[in-house]
Chains A and B, each alone.
Chain A
Amino acid sequence: MENDSIVSFKDVSIEYRLKRFTLKAVNHASLEIKRGKITALVGESGSGKTTLASSLINCISEPGRVSAGQVVFHDEGKDIIVNELSPKELRKFRWEKVSMVFQAAQSALNPVSMVREQFYETFDEHGLKMTKEEKEQRCVKLLNYVKLDPERVLNSYPHELSGGMKQRVMIAFALLLRPKVIILDEPTTALDVITQNYIFTLLKKINKDFGISMLLMTHDISVVARFADYVCVMYGGELMEYGSVYQVFDKRAHPYTEGLIQSTPNLIEDIKAMKPIPGMAPNLLDMPKGCVFSPRCPYATDLCRTKAPETTHCEVGFGKCYLYEGTSENGRK
């Protein structure tokens, strides 16, 4: 659509077709990822964020399929509809335009070959004819950028690296073919807080130096607050709210967003102010009628429980709740 989005999810629905039933993981999601910015996709486990993000490289775990809508990548000049690419085009698209840093970096590398071999392999598979020195140089440069010792890392097998090192290797790996977008699936969940901070600072640096747009998935609100530019809140396979970080966190228009922020420990307020959201994440096989969040929402009305609300768009974002209706630009009525 506009020039300042690099990815558009247009009314995307993703489902898993199993033998006895079909599981709807993502339900009519429409989202714009702004060029050059860090967009965070926030939600509980099972909210569908990984599924949605992996549809960007059409790498949804089997047997998931994009059942409706389009995932559009706005390249220079032309638009690429990702879920309609042929396998050959898809292979080229992956990693060259969009790369991904997986959640379990622990097992994202081939355990039986050296790191160097896997780096080289990616160059070769994408048809880049480079000499050995050129490949080596590029790898060394990238590894230096993420503050790793290239000599040591390139000669190691994956299991010889620690968790933090492996994650940095994956980030360097993601930068290998100079993509325009990097998807990060909970990149620091398994790491300690110090390393976490380090990784995010590194990511912020990458975003500033190379202008790479990022789609960050996490369930940690505090991380979002510090590092993201835009945030999108997802629940039960549906997008609940979207806007700039300042706006969403300040206004807390959507009840779920409010609940998420309330349940995070706060340095300033009293610990008693921390309130977890009651109830459990919805069973995707047995979705509640009406608004997905209604069973757990403190403001829910009968209308909420019977009819799902429409998405209300405004200039700076959108939200999916009846509370939005009759709103001005600022959000809540």
Chain B
Amino acid sequence: MKEKASKLNLWLKSLSLSLKDFFFRVGVLGKKLFSNYKTILGTSIILLYILVAIFGPLIFPYNQEINMVDKYLMNSWTHPFGTDWLGRDVFRQVIAGAGSVLEIAFFTAAFSVVFGTILGIVAGYLGGWVDKVIMSVANIFLSIPAFPVYLLLAAVIVISSPIQFALVISVFSWAGLCRAIRIQVMSLKERDFLQICLVMRMSKAHIIFKEIMPNVFSYIAINFVTALRNAIMASVGIMLVGLAAYDPTNWGAIINAARTKGLTNVNNIYILLYPLVAIVIFEVATLMVSNGLDETFNPRLKEM
């Protein structure tokens, strides 16, 4: 009985210590991550987008009324981006769509990172036939051209929510991260300090969280940002074919509508420029964050 009590005590103590250590490490990490100007700039742009997505519709609410009088208005103070073929304000459409786009992007990135990391660590750490199976599956998803399958899935599962959308896209994007993490874990396994941990009989969970994770964190972070980019590119692409039209304010949907309508009336085409530029700016921001993180983790890339 007494043994159990003291064991519990020890365990609590080590837990609190590791929590303190964790927060300390997070602090140090945060400072390190944001020392690079690219990361700072990119992240601020992304944060800006998030803010717009959350608060935009509150400040500039979008009503879907059809107003045939104000068709095809040029840019003005009341309609900064003009109006579309049904007289609706494009500016507010773009703002309303921001949330939709970001939701899809973040969900996809989250799913693919979670799947990829777990499977990668499992494959790398356990090795043997588990590894071979996981790698064969990952190989398929790296070989098949992704986009046609996205379309197929999107057609089969009529997409009606961002989570469904995210699941579809992450079917392919987890594979790359999985492979990278597996290689990293396997090389870590060889290195001495893991052997030492095993000798000291630390629990498997402890090994995974405290020793392996910090080393793969760089891959995860960069891959998350890259997944954001790919998610947007893929989702907009899918919408351009007309397959996931559950939210007409989503930028991809706006572009698609403008394009199809544009075949008949040239004025429509210019509408798609606004969401297009919004997409491109977001992509550039993610690219900057990705490059900045890369430079932070691989200082060799930076010029001396």
Contacts and interface: CB of A to CB of B under 8 A. Distances in A.
In the complex they form, whether A and B have CB atoms below 8 Å apart is answered with yes
Interface of A: 18-19
Interface string B283-304: 0000000000000000000011
A328 B90 CA distance: 95
Contacts of A18: 304
A18 B303 CA distance: 10
Nearest to A63: B304
A18 B304 CA distance: 6
Interface in B126-170: none
The 3 closest A-B pairs by CB, nearest first: A18-B304, A19-B304, A19-B303
A124 to B, nearest CB: 35
Interface in B258-304: 303-304
B37 to A, nearest CB: 15
B301 to A, nearest CB: 14
A19 B303 CA distance: 8
3 contacts: A18-B304, A19-B303, A19-B304
B interface: dominant SS: loop
Contacts, number: 3
In the complex, which range does the number of interface residues on chain B fall in?
under 10
Contacts of B304: 18-19
Contacts of A19: 303-304
Interface string B177-211: 00000000000000000000000000000000000
A19 to B, nearest CB: 6
Contacts of B303: 19
A19 B304 CA distance: 6
B68 to A, nearest CB: 62
B60 to A, nearest CB: 45
A232 to B, nearest CB: 30
Nearest to A20: B304
A19 B302 CA distance: 11
B79 to A, nearest CB: 49
A230 B99 CA distance: 77
B65 to A, nearest CB: 58
A284 to B, nearest CB: 15
A19 B299 CA distance: 14
Nearest to A18: B304
A237 B304 CA distance: 22
Interface string B229-244: 0000000000000000
Nearest to A19: B304
B284 to A, nearest CB: 26
A15 to B, nearest CB: 14
A215 B303 CA distance: 33
A215 B297 CA distance: 41
B295 to A, nearest CB: 14
Nearest to B303: A19
Nearest to B302: A19
A187 to B, nearest CB: 28
A18 B302 CA distance: 13
Nearest to A62: B304
A87 to B, nearest CB: 24
A64 to B, nearest CB: 12
A300 B304 CA distance: 37
A212 B303 CA distance: 40
A214 B304 CA distance: 34
B207 to A, nearest CB: 35
A60 to B, nearest CB: 15
A18 to B, nearest CB: 5
B302 to A, nearest CB: 10
